[in-house]
Structures are given as structure tokens and as C-alpha cells.
Structure 1
Amino acid sequence: MADGPKDFGHVPVLARRCVELLAPALTWHHPDGSGAILVDATLGAGGHAERFLREFPGLRLIGLDRDPSALDIARDRLAPFAERITLVRTRYDGLAPALAELGYGAVESVDGVLLDLGVSSMQLDRAERGFAYAKDAPLDMRMDPDQPLTAADIVNTYDEAALADILQRYGEERFARRIAGRIVRQRAHAPFTSTSELVAVVYQAIPAAARRTGGHPAKRTFQALRIAVNDELDSLRGALPAAMAALRVGGRIVVMAYQSLEDRIVKRVFADAVASRTPIGLPVELPGHGPRFRSLTHGAERADAAEMQRNPRSAAVRMRALQRIEHEAEPQHAIGKGDS
């Protein structure tokens, strides 16, 4: 089956594998997904959502995204399924409040959760958003255009130490101090307003030998600024426990990460969930000894060569999945003498 109309500017990554992993949870009661609820917490242009709605004609889908333009595109794409979708403008760590607002509980209320992390190809392709280092645009990088902080604000106002910390922490940029120092010296003459201005400074700061390897010299700087602007890692740390708490027994969560910082967070949270018999930082207390989970993937799954050729964005993906299983029963209390 095709992954969806190409004119929507988004080809969903690992769409077939997402269906394979989530289908058992969605068809728990009925083969067509009747009564099942799937949360696509990173809706984007709706490519994955469309795939699920077509394959499970009884499925109810809740789509979350902070980007209003993405919601508009997804609403258009998913118009044939309008009676089965609910779209909510929020970050993915707003999953629990969104479910509550819709009348669902924060605990054991949905059958599946999908998180396709990072910046979408739709956002990268729109030069005016400022995500792409290869296209000149305002230095913006906001996924939510109504939030106040932009990449230009960080570049033009943060001190040298704070800039270096962002570049090293979120971009794993080994020349973070050199880049930060050059940014501060450059902005003393005029503030940065465009992506091309920043690219030029980063290029000058990185030694010539290093520029010849490891991809575009500005790649790590742009990643770091985007993560900082959108608070992506803290959002992920909040979203994962909320998503796992929302799963019914038998429910499943699939997460796709595209850079190592995100994947490390997912790996750590999932490993703790599988190993632990106690609540794992969930937003609410669950009955018994706490939720139990089992891994559905052996490490992180990758796209195969055919998909990478068809959809280059899939080359970076790391997919991990869990299933919620029965938590242990409370130990029985033995009634002895003196017990009433």
C-alpha cells in the first residue's frame, strides 16, 4: 500500500512497521479497530494517521501537534475520516491534559500511542520557518509560531558560555566554544537575522579539516538551537511517562527518534519500565505494584535499504516499542489470630 499522497509533502517513516507493532493493541476487541483509540502525539502532516485510519476503519484517532500549519494540513489530508478524528493543538507532553479535556482519563484510557520525533520534512521544506541550514530564511526555528523565543533571540542575547553549553549539550558540537565566541564577536557589529548569516559564522569557526567530514558544518549548531528553542528533550521526558500511563493493559507505544539525544532518553525510560516493578515517574499512582511493560523491539530498529532510498529521512530513524502488560497482584494478607 502506498504511504500516502505525495502532494502533502510528507512520506511517513516506517509506516508499515508502525502498523505491525500497534495492530495487536488496536484489534484487541475487533479486527477493524472498533472501540480502539490511538493517540498520534506528533501528528505532523498526518501521514501515519492516514495509514492507520485507512487500515482500521473502526479506529478513533486523537492527533496532537503544536504547529497550527501542520494541523491545517493534517485536517485537509484526513478529511475523509473527519468523524473519527480529534485534533488538538498542544505539545506532546500535553498528552495527559489533552486526554482529560476530551473526557478520557490520564490512566488506562487509550490503546496505542505513536511518537514520531524531531522536525518534519514539511517544516524543513518551508524555508520561512528557518529550520534548514541550506536555505536562507529568518532565524526562527519555532514549531509553535506563537511562542516568544526564537533562534535569533538565543543567538543574539545569550552570553558566550550559555551559547557554548547549548551547542555542546544539544548538538554535541566539539567546536562549541569556538562557534559561540565567533557568534558573540559577530553580533557586536550587527544582530543575526537570517540563517545564512549564522551558517557563514559557523563555517568560519570550524577548522578547514573538520569541515571536510561529518556532513554540513552547521548541522549540529542548527540541531542544538532547534532543540533549545522548542524545549524538545524536556518535552520528551514529560511525554513518555504520560503516554505510558495512558495505555490500557495490552496497549502499545511506538517511538521513532532521529538523533542520539532523543534516542538515549527513550532507551533509558523504556529500559527502566521493563526492569522496574514500581511506578517510573508516572504522573499518577497506578494500582498494585505499578505498571509492567515488555519490549517489542530488540534494541532500536532501523529502516531497510529500500526505504532509505525511497525516503532519505528514514536513514536516521531509531524505533523502539513497548507493550503494557498486567501488573502484579497485591500480595495476599494472611488472616491469623487477632485479625478481625
Structure 2
Amino acid sequence: MHESVLMREVVDLLVVKQGGTYIDGTLGNGGHTRAIIERAGAKSFVMALDRDELALERAGKVLDVFRNQVCLVHGNFSEMAEVARSKGINTVDGVLLDLGVSSEQLDEGCRGFSFMRDGPLDMRMDQQGNDMTAADLVNGLGENELCEILIEFGEEKMARRVVKAIAREREIEPIRTTGRLAGIVERAMGGRRGRVHPATKTFQALRIKVNDELGSLKKGLEGGLSLLGMEGRMAVISFHSLEDRIVKRFFAGHSGKWESLQGGGAEWVGEKPRMQICTKKPIEASIAEMDRNPRARSAKLRVAEKSEMM
């Protein structure tokens, strides 16, 4: 089983008491859920969601020993509030979101997430509930719309050149595999330079669009906050600047700040605070963890606590 990212840091900051109810919005391989239960003890309970049915099946085996303390749900974490309340869970002590694609999904070429393993150009995290694939976007969208996706969701500076190459190739034959798309992008960008594959940002952009990842994140943050009890904590692990920016702004927008007044005193700026930020700067993986788990290299953990205005 692949190692879950920032495991120790997550449980240290998220689980601050014994017992309690938690939500793991991105179950993955089950590592974080297991760590939460082991830290919070026998009286704790975790509702864990994942939109990948294969992940649920794998994690279910790992977590079978905790079967009485876990509820596994096939669903998007953007729906966590509705799902929790439908199961009688109205307040929780912690919410965890580990964003992005899992190592297992990258290892399975058939899922279409990896530019290193050839497979169908799919990229759907939920293959049952989502009909739109990356191949549909690559072959069906106009050049301008496809370029906008690469810029908005991949921050790809060479988007126009990449899209021109895609347009030429799809005229010859539809692009249906990850290997072919990765090759097209690599050639368009003049080959490999350095450690990062030239297709990284293109694949990121298509994956985000296919799965509406940023829309789900915004809704999930709101849903998680609505479920948190007082002094409950939300921990979010992001893997690129688009995700981290949303999380940072969400936490900041619900924390507000005091500003000094001329002549003395201070006034509150922003809405009445609902959160207190626990991590002034995002926590990153140690060098040792990055050596063990390359996925951790870009991980950033932010944590905030629900609180009342002082």
C-alpha cells in the first residue's frame, strides 16, 4: 500500500482529543482514515468518502479491522454535508481533504491519469457517475476553448503551441491514449528539460476539468465548515497552486483580522470570524518523506479551527 502524504502532521493537527467524529473526504488507500482512528481511539468514528469505487474496495479491506468505527461512502466530498446529515451526523470534530490524484490511480494506466503509463485517455475519478472523458475534451473542443482550459487549470504558458499540435494530430486520427497525447505535448514543447515532464500541466488541466476539481473543492470547504463543531478542525492537503490558493483564501476569508485605528484601538476587518488559522504557513513534507514518497514533494497542508470571535 502506498504511503499517505504528511500522515504524522495530519493526525497531530487534526486529532486533538480522544474519541470524536471525523470525515475523510478523500479516502484513497485508507491510510489517513486508519491513522485518525488509531490516534483518536476506540470511541472515534470516521465517515470516509471517495468517488473512486476501486479505492473504496481496496480501502475497505485495509480498514476491515475497524469496521465498527468506519462508514465508507461512494461519493464526492463536495456532497459531504448532505451525506453526513442523511446518516444522522450533524456535527463533526474534524474534516480532512487530501486533494489530487492518488498514487494507485497513477499506477493504473487504464485509468488514464498518467503520462508515464499508456492507457485510454479517460481521467475520470468516478467512472460510473461521470460521462465526460479527457478524450472527449481533446478531440471535441475548439482550439480556443481547449487553450483556455490549459491556461486556467494548468497554468500552461505554452498552451497555444500545445493546442496547435493537438489540433494537427487529431485531424489525422482522434487522440485516444495517454501515451499519444503525452508524446504530442512533449514534441510541441521541444522535448524534455529537467525533472518535470512537459505534459504535466496539460494532464493536470484536463483532469481538473473532467472532474470539476476546483468546483468540488469550493463546495467541499463550505460543506466541511458547516459540519464542524466548535473547536473542530479542517485539514487540507493541496498539490498545486490553484488548489492551495482556494484553500488559503477560504481560511483567510473566514478568519478576518484586526486593524489598528489612528489614535489608538483597533477594529475588525471582514466578516465575523468562524475559523482560526492553525498553520501560518503551509506545512510541507520532510526531505526524508519526499525521498520515500515522491508524491509528497508538492504537498502543502493547511489547517484551521472553527472558533468564535474573541
Calculate the TM-score normalised by the size of structure 2.
0.92
Aligned residue for 2:243?
262
> For residues 26-41 of structure 1, what are the structure 2 equivalents within 5 Å?
27=17, 31=18, 33=19, 36-41=20-25
- The answer to which structure has the higher strand fraction is 2
Aligned residue for 2:5?
13
Residues 276 and 292, structure 1, Cα contact 8 Å, conserved in 2: no
Q: Is 1:233 the counterpart of 2:233 in the alignment?
A: no
1:118 aligned to 86, 100, 103, which one? 100
Q: What is the number of equivalent residue pairs in this alignment? A: 296
Amino acid at match of 1:252: R
Cα displacement string for residues 176-234 of structure 1 (whole angstroms, at most 9, x for unaligned residues): 011111111211111111111101211221135xx424611111111111111111011
* Per-residue deviation, 1:121: 0.4
Amino acid at match of 1:51: A
Structure 2's unaligned 5+ residue stretches are 259-270
- 1:142 is paired with a residue whose SS is coil
Residues 151 and 225, structure 1, Cα contact 8 Å, conserved in 2: yes
Q: Aligned equivalents of 2:35 and 2:299: distance in 1? A: 19
Residues 254 and 272, structure 2, Cα contact 8 Å, conserved in 1: no
> For residues 52-67 of structure 1, what are the structure 2 equivalents within 5 Å?
52-55=36-39, 56-67=41-52
* Per-residue deviation, 1:327: 4.6
* Per-residue deviation, 1:290: 5.2
Q: Aligned equivalents of 1:290 and 1:271: distance in 2? A: 12
Amino acid at match of 1:308: M
Q: Aligned equivalents of 1:110 and 1:325: distance in 2? A: 14
* Per-residue deviation, 1:104: 2.3
- 2:283 is paired with a residue whose SS is coil
Aligned residue for 1:207?
190
The change in CA–CA distance for 1:327 and 1:98 in structure 2 (over 3 A counts) is farther
Q: Is 1:74 the counterpart of 2:59 in the alignment?
A: yes
Cα displacement string for residues 283-323 of structure 1 (whole angstroms, at most 9, x for unaligned residues): xxxxxx85521111121111111111121111111110000
Cα displacement string for residues 17-58 of structure 1 (whole angstroms, at most 9, x for unaligned residues): 11110122xx2xxx3x1xx10000011110101111222221
Q: Is 1:216 the counterpart of 2:201 in the alignment?
A: no
Structure 1's unaligned 5+ residue stretches are 1-7, 278-288, 329-340
The change in CA–CA distance for 1:213 and 1:311 in structure 2 (over 3 A counts) is closer
Amino acid at match of 2:143: E
Runs of 4+ residues over 4 Å off in structure 1: none
- 1:94 is paired with a residue whose SS is helix
Q: Aligned equivalents of 2:53 and 2:73: distance in 1? A: 10
Aligned residue for 2:288?
306
- 2:94 is paired with a residue whose SS is strand
Residues 161 and 189, structure 2, Cα contact 8 Å, conserved in 1: yes
> For residues 292-303 of structure 1, what are the structure 2 equivalents within 5 Å?
292-303=274-285
Q: Rg bigger for which structure?
A: 1
Amino acid at match of 2:306: R
Q: Aligned equivalents of 1:313 and 1:249: distance in 2? A: 33
Cα displacement string for residues 87-107 of structure 1 (whole angstroms, at most 9, x for unaligned residues): 1111111111111211223xx
- 1:148 is paired with a residue whose SS is coil
> For residues 128-143 of structure 1, what are the structure 2 equivalents within 5 Å?
128-143=110-125
Q: Is 1:251 the counterpart of 2:227 in the alignment?
A: no
Percent identity between matched residues is: 43
Q: Aligned equivalents of 1:207 and 1:151: distance in 2? A: 23
Cα displacement string for residues 64-114 of structure 1 (whole angstroms, at most 9, x for unaligned residues): 110100111111110000011111111111111111211223xxx100000
Residues 95 and 224, structure 2, Cα contact 8 Å, conserved in 1: yes
Aligned residue for 1:151?
134
Amino acid at match of 2:220: A
Aligned residue for 1:45?
29
Residues 256 and 273, structure 2, Cα contact 8 Å, conserved in 1: no
Amino acid at match of 1:168: I
Residues 60 and 85, structure 1, Cα contact 8 Å, conserved in 2: yes
Calculate the TM-score normalised by the size of structure 1.
0.84
- 1:274 is paired with a residue whose SS is coil
1:274 aligned to 239, 255, 267, which one? 255
Aligned residue for 1:337?
none
* Per-residue deviation, 1:12: 0.9
Q: Aligned equivalents of 2:30 and 2:38: distance in 1? A: 12
Aligned residue for 2:82?
97
Q: Aligned equivalents of 1:204 and 1:251: distance in 2? A: 49
